[in-house]
Amino acid sequence: MSEDTSDTDVETIEAETLKEQIDAGEDVTILDVRAEDEFDEWHIEGDSVEIANVPYYGLVDGLDEEDLERIPEGDPLVVLCAKGGSSELIAEMLVEEGRDAVSLAEGMNGWATIYEYEEVETDGDALVAQYQRPSSGCLGYLVVSGDEAAIIDPLRAFTDTYLEDAEELGADLKYAIDTHIHADHISGVRALAEEGVEGVIPAASVERGVTYADEVTNAEDGDVFEVGDTEIETVYTPGHTSGMTSYLVDGELLATGDGLFIESVARPDLEEGDEGAPDAAKQLYESLQERVLTLDDDVLIGGAHFSDSAEPAEDGTYTAPIGELTETMDALTVDEDEFVDIVLADMPPRPANYVDIIETNLGQQEADDEEAFELELGPNNCAASQDALTSDD
C-alpha cells in the first residue's frame, strides 16, 4: 500500500453499529475494495444493503472519472476491506473527491467479531439463549438453570463471552459441549476446559484421532448432563460426520449441530469425501427419521448454523419446531433414495481451510488465537444446497 500523506480526516464506523443499521432496515451502501475472489467467497448482505465490489488495486493510484462512476453514492458510503487499512485510504480519496465516505473499522475482521445473544422462547424452566455470528452463520446455545450453565458448540474466539454471560446470569459454566468435530470454526471446548469448565465431546468422534480425548468427557448416546434442574440428553445422530451428536435440552430444544438446520440438512462429504458421501447421506437419513423426527412436533430444532435464506422466529432466534420443518422441508418427507439424491445434488464449495480446522479441532495441529481467527473467516458451507430441500408452499 502506498504511503498515506493526506491530512483528510476520515470517520470510521464500528461493525456493531453497521449491523444495527442493517437490522433496522436502514439503507446502507457499501464499497468493498477486497479482491474479487475474496468478495465472492463472503461479503455483507441484507435486504437494505446496496454493495459494490471495486478492488483496491485498481483505485490506489488515484480516482479517475471512470472509477467514480463505478463507485456508488452513499449517505454515507461505507468502504471496507479485510482489516481496515486499505479502506481507510480509499475513503480518504473519496472524501477528497467530495464523496461522503467512512471506513469500516477493522474491515471484515471486525465484522467477524460480532456475536449476538438472543433468548429462545420455550415452555421449560431453563433459560436457553442462542448465540449468533452473522459473518459465518455460526450458532451456539447457552443453557442456564439455577446457578449452573452449559454452552453447546462454543467458538474459541468467544471463550470470555460465555464465562462473562454465565456470571452475569448468576451461574457458573459447568459444561462446554461439542456436537461434533467442526469443519468451519475452531472449537472453544478445550479453551474453556483450561478455565475449569468440564469439556464434553461425542464418544463416537474419538476414533477420528482426537488427541485430547482423555482430558474431556466422552458423551455416549443416552448420557444425561444435569445443569441445575435441567437435563441435557445425548442423542447420537450421525450422518454429517460419523460422530455427529445432538443434545436435547430440557425436552424443549434439540441442538442438532450440523445435522439439521431450519432451512436445510447437513452435507455428508466433509469427513469421507465424495466417495463416502452417499453412505453418509443414508446414515443422515436414518438419523433424521429415527432419532429426530420421532420427537414431538413442538420440540424446537436449533442447528449450529444459519444461512442468508433462513428466516428467524418471532423471538429472533434461528429455531423452528419439528412439525413446521416437516411441512416446509421436502427432504424430510421423501424416501431414502430421493433424500440421498437431493442432498448430493449441487453441494456448495467446502468450507475454507476445512482440513486445517478439522485437524486443529482434533488436536493434531496447533493454531494460536490469531491463526485460529484467520482460519475460520468466511462462510461456513456445512449445509447441503437448499435449492431443492424446501417447498415453495
CA dihedral (313, 317, 318, 322) in degrees, to 10, reads -60
Q: Which amino acid is at 161?
A: T
Q: Which of 33, 77, 81, 189 is catalytic?
A: 81
CB 307 within 8 A of CB 386: yes
Secondary structure letter of residue 193 according to DSSP? H
**Residue whose C-alpha is closest to residue 94's, from 34, 41, 149, 33:** 33
**Strand partners of residue 201:** 218
Q: Give alpha helix (H) positions in 64-188.
A: 65-70, 85-96, 107-111, 159-168
Task: Give the residue carrying C-alpha cell 453441494.
Answer: 347
Secondary structure letter of residue 328 according to DSSP? H
Is 81 an annotated catalytic residue?
Answer: yes
**Residue whose C-alpha is closest to residue 155's, from 9, 384, 317, 357:** 357
Kindly state the helix (H) or strand (E) to which residue 227 belongs, with its residue range.
strand 224-227
Q: Which residues are catalytic?
A: 81
